[in-house]
Structure 1
């Protein structure tokens, strides 16, 4: 008997996966956006730690994320998706509780302990988050492609919401301590919402239909009989990687270019034409230049890019590689903007000398990041047989993290490039 395909009434499953997308990047976005809390407040009397906070934070967050992302594909932790999601979310919430407690206490007498304790917390937080993230992509891969897009959309919305949350908490609270407490509590509640909504998925007819459809595909296809629990068959990882190679490249190169620029280079680009005494608008923009042109612009445009990818799947899977490869040009363009890394003397001439032009560049970079990454993640599951779609989705998630780590690593060379003696006299 055929199952009549039900509809996703009120888009409940789409919204649920969007919320889980929020959860996948909550930890990363909240810690990088809270830079002033760590650098200017908690570590203000320890410049040796404050000056290196962002690089250490990037490594502490993304190296375990990378390791666990790939480990989670080849070693089925906990045996099923539910166990992995439940335990990873529980541990993330616990770590956020410890982070809130650290915000409450006075750590001015032990900044070194606070610094390394924060790095340890970030390490484990992102390790558990990697398990959660890849498992969510595995769940979404069972559904039509736009539901994978919902996860990516949620991750892009996360950055925008966190940027405004940080701005609001800094503007409306009397101290950085109070601001940080409320700020991290909100992150904890986002993860709790993800925990609750996951258990609502099996109650929905639309979700049950697609889950049952996948199970029936495995059951009725004789070629897949070996995949049944009685006689498990090894997952053909080599075949999946070969079939999905082009889309995995697209996912990797999008995040490599983006993380090479954002946030390390992007957040150290300073205004040239806006002056603090140039009127109310210029004064406002000058005071919030990095917050507006970097964090808010990037996250908002990445979110819009995800929406456009869901509405129009262009470029097609065949030509997406061209779109993603052209984005490599953003790296030299941002280095040629007024990028002034701390503690370095810039010797490379600034060629992007107008802040409006730089802002336009930031808009296009953010949009293309969201659009390209969404298309890559939406296309990757369709490159393999249906029974391997979940694995392909998880490999796509791990490739995403690989691009992030490689981009963060390469971003460290930005300061070296713009301060080379080679450019003197140009």
Structure 2
């Protein structure tokens, strides 16, 4: 261990963690991007459900996701991170199989039952995905900071890939067939995560850093709780100290995802073009889903190349993004019911702001997640990484709560 550390040849560990980042958001992205399939096809005869589909999905996905992320940190569950990752992936695959079966059957006579079965699937998917996501960030935190960035990169790439998957699935003759292949693709992504995880211990670079951590465990057993070994650990992790030392970066992570999810996808996808026919029938898919996810991916790349703002000043960058919330509300959001005037009357300006929203989300979230583990002692880096992941999901949930105010804010009496 005194020799120079081995290199990550061909960036294999970086790629594997990026794949796992992709897997952490595949379920969420697939269900929100398939909005038209659920709203216009499966739930066409159930307006009471179709009109609030994204809101229901958001709650069903992110409440258990947030809850289980925090439980995974504080409650000493049995089994190593490997056990958690493997079992959570296997259960997610099984639930996706059920989703494919639901796509195969004709549910036109029982849309309410289909809706609630879908919501239960989303709830279970994200409960186990929370354990998977949190554990993956714990694994990445053992490595240099850029490997946490790899997980964030994968999660941002996920949305872009899902948009193209959605477009590709539209090539089939029927929505039923396209939905079947669309969700089957999600199964393959999760199976890829399952396979590549077992390649980690075969890599010298990963083994080197894993051995370093095991040596730290022998010196300071407090870190062992992040691995949840079977034997009891008497030494307590100083959660208060970790929260205090990482508080600024935890704020950055929270506020980035709060602002992003306060706008995307609920408010963002209900903005209509000012100019009739702008981008044709793909306006929402391009300006909302594709632009946000593509620019978030670009933001993640720029963060890995250019760590600016620095750890000290990142809070300024993330706080300024709060101004994007009133901006998007001033766009042509819910024109059929809004009473407030539309102040942003140029589709290109709106699209540019959409690109800024996506890029700043990817850049800011990547920096926050990379910085959070370096704010604490090395033996607590994995815990800080897991707390950062839980804070991320808490920000998402907070943003989703805010979206319920969107319609009310634009229907206030004009002054």
CA distance in 2, matches of 1:150, 1:67: 24
Answer yes or no: is the 8 Å Cα contact 2:21–2:153 preserved in 1: yes
Deviation per residue, 1:137-166 (Å, 9 max, x gap): 000000000000000000000000001111
The equivalent residue for 2:109 is: 109
CA distance in 1, matches of 2:223, 2:297: 38
One of 340, 355, 372 as aligned partner of 1:348: 340
1:328 aligns with 2:322: yes
Q: Distance in 1 between matches of 2:36 and 2:221?
A: 56
Structure 2: distance between partners of 1:392 and 1:142: 11
What residue number does 2:268 align with?
266
* Aligned equivalent of 2:227: none
Among 235, 240, 243, which residue is 2:242 paired with?
Answer: 240
Tell me how far 1:47 sits from its aligned partner: 1.0
Residue 216 of structure 1: how far off its partner (Å): 1.8
The aligned residue for residue 388 of structure 1 is 380
Deviation at 1:325, TM superposition (A): 0.1
Shift of 1:227: 6.0
Cα deviation for residue 215 of structure 1 reads 1.7
CA distance in 1, matches of 2:125, 2:222: 37
Alpha carbons 2:222, 2:237 under 8 Å: kept: no
The equivalent residue for 2:360 is 368
Q: Deviations over 1:86-129 (max 9, x none)?
A: 11001000000000000000111111110111111100100000
1:90 aligns with 2:84: no
Q: Which of 342, 351, 364 is residue 359 of structure 1 equivalent to? A: 351
**Number of residue-to-residue matches in the alignment:** 409
Classify the secondary structure of the residue corresponding to 1:288: helix
Is 2:263–2:325's contact at 8 Å kept on the other side of the alignment? Answer: yes
* Corresponding position of 1:418: 410
Q: Quote the residue 2:38 is aligned against.
A: 38
Alignment of 1:185-200 (within 5 A): 185-200=184-199
Say which SS state the counterpart of residue 234 (structure 2) adopts: coil
8 A Cα contact 1:3 1:209, kept in partner: no
Aligned 8 A contact 2:292 2:354 in 1: yes
Instruction: Tell me the equivalent position of 2:216.
Output: 217
* Residue 67 (structure 2) aligns with: 67
Unaligned runs of 5+ residues in structure 1 are 277-281
Q: Could you tell me how far 1:226 is from its partner in structure 2?
A: 6.6
Distance 1:232 1:200 in 2: 32
Shift of residue 76, structure 1, vs aligned partner: 3.3
1:257–1:327 Cα contact (<8 Å) kept: yes
TM, length-normalised to structure 2? 0.96
Whether the aligned pair in 2 keeps the contact of 1:271 and 1:286 (CA below 8 Å) is: no
How has the CA–CA distance of structure 1 residues 231 and 34 changed in structure 2, closer, same or farther, with 3 Å as cutoff?
Answer: closer
Match of 2:299 in 1: 305
Give deviations 1:391-421, integer Å, cap 9, x for gaps: 1000000000000000001011011000112
How many Å apart are 1:297 and its aligned residue?
Answer: 0.3
Separation in structure 2 between the aligned mates of residue 5 and residue 304 of structure 1, nearest angstrom: 30
In the superposition, relative to structure 1, how do residues 419 and 13 fare at CA in structure 2: closer, same or farther (>3 Å)?
same
Q: Gaps (5+ residues) in structure 2?
A: 225-230
Asked if 1:208 is matched to 2:228, the reply is no
